[in-house]
C-alpha cells in the first residue's frame, strides 16, 4: 500500500499562520500535521508516501529530508500551478504513481490512528469514509449514502446528507485504474483548474461503478481550514499524536 498526500495549497483561510509555511507544516503539539500523517501511515504498514507540494515546496522538502523513517520511501511531486489549480490537478500531477493500492489524504486532515486503521480495514476497491455531524457548513464535502454505498458527493449537496466525507480515501485493484481514467476525463473539462478531485469520484459514480462507504463514528477527524480548526486539533492533541514511545522518526 502506498499513500498520496495532497499538500500543494497555500491555506489562505489560515492566515497569518500560513503566511510563510503551508498547512501541512503547522504544528499540533510537537509534530506537524504532515509528520503525524506519515507516522500514522507507517503504523499501518504503508511503505511509500508521495507528497504533492506547491506553495513553499522548499520548506516541505527540507522538512521531509530530515524525516527519515525506517522502511518507508518518501517522495515529493511538484505541482507548478498550485496557485491557480485545486486538488484535481494536484492528484492528476501524481498520476504516474497511481499504479497500485493507494490511500489518498488531504494534507490538512488531522485524525487519530484508529481512523486510518478502520478505513484501511475495508477491502473494497473504492472506499469513501464519512462522519455524521449535527450540521454541515457550505464548504464541507458532503455525501449521500444508500445501503452502504455512496450515491452522491459534493459541497453543493442540500438534501439527504448522510455525513461529511473524510479526506482519507482508499483505492484498490481495479479501483486505482477507475480513478485514473476518471482523472483523465475530468482534467479535460471546462474549469478543471477550479475543481476538487471529488469531481473525479462523482464521475466514477455516474459511470455506474460502486463506491463503498464507512462511517468512522465518534473517532476524531478534522480538516484544518480555519484558525478555530487548528485550535480544535490542539485541544484533541492526545487523540491525534503518534505514540511517543513508538516514535518512528530518525533524524
- Select the more confidently predicted residue: 137 or 249: 137
pTM, 2 dp? 0.94
Average pLDDT score over residue span 160-170 = 97
DSSP 197-217: THHHHHHHHHTT---EEEE-T
Q: Tell which residue, 23, 20, 19, 18, has the closest CA to residue 8.
A: 23
Phi-psi region of 217 (alpha: psi -120 to 50; beta: other; left: phi over 0): left
- Per-residue pLDDT, 67: 87
| CA-CA-CA-CA torsion sign (102, 104, 109, 115) | negative
- Per-residue pLDDT, 69: 87
Q: All domains of the chain, ordered by start, with CATH?
A: 2-241 (3.90.550.10)
Please write the tens of the pLDDT for every residue from 190-246.
999 999 999 999 999 999 999 999 999 999 999 999 999 999 999 999 999 865 444
Amino acid at each position: 500500500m502506498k499513500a498520496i498526500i495532497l499538500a500543494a495549497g497555500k491555506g489562505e483561510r489560515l492566515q497569518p499562520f500560513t503566511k510563510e509555511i503551508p498547512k501541512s507544516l503547522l504544528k499540533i503539539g510537537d509534530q506537524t500535521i504532515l509528520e503525524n500523517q506519515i507516522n500514522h501511515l507507517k503504523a499501518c504498514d504503508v511503505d511509500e508516501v508521495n507528497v504533492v507540494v506547491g506553495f513553499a515546496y522548499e520548506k516541505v522538502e527540507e522538512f521531509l529530508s530530515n524525516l527519515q523513517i525506517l522502511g518507508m520511501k518518501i517522495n515529493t511531486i511538484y505541482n507548478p500551478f498550485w496557485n491557480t489549480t485545486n486538488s484535481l490537478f494536484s492528484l492528476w500531477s501524481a498520476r504516474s504513481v497511481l499504479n497500485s493500492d493507494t490511500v489518498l489524504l488531504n494534507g490538512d486532515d488531522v485524525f487519530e490512528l484508529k481512523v486510518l486503521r478502520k478505513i484501511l480495514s475495508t477491502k473494497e476497491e473504492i472506499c469513501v469514509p464519512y462522519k455524521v455531524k449535527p450540521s454541515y457548513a457550505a464548504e464541507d464535502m458532503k455525501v449521500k449514502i444508500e445501503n452502504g454505498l455512496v450515491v452522491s458527493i459534493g459541497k453543493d449537496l442540500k438534501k439527504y446528507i448522510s455525513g461529511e466525507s473524510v479526506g482519507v480515501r482508499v483505492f484498490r485493484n481495479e479501483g486505482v485504474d477507475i480513478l485514473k481514467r476518471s482523472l483523465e476525463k475530468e482534467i479535460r473539462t471546462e474549469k478543471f483548474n477550479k475543481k476538487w478531485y471529488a469531481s473525479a469520484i462523482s464521475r466514477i459514480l455516474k459511470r455506474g461503478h460502486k463506491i463503498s462507504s464507512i462511517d468512522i463514528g465518534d473517532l476524531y477527524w478534522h480538516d484544518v481550514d480555519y484558525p478555530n480548526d487548528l485550535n480544535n486539533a490542539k485541544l484533541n492533541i492526545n487523540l491525534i499524536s503518534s505514540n511517543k514511545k513508538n516514535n518512528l522518526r530518525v533524524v
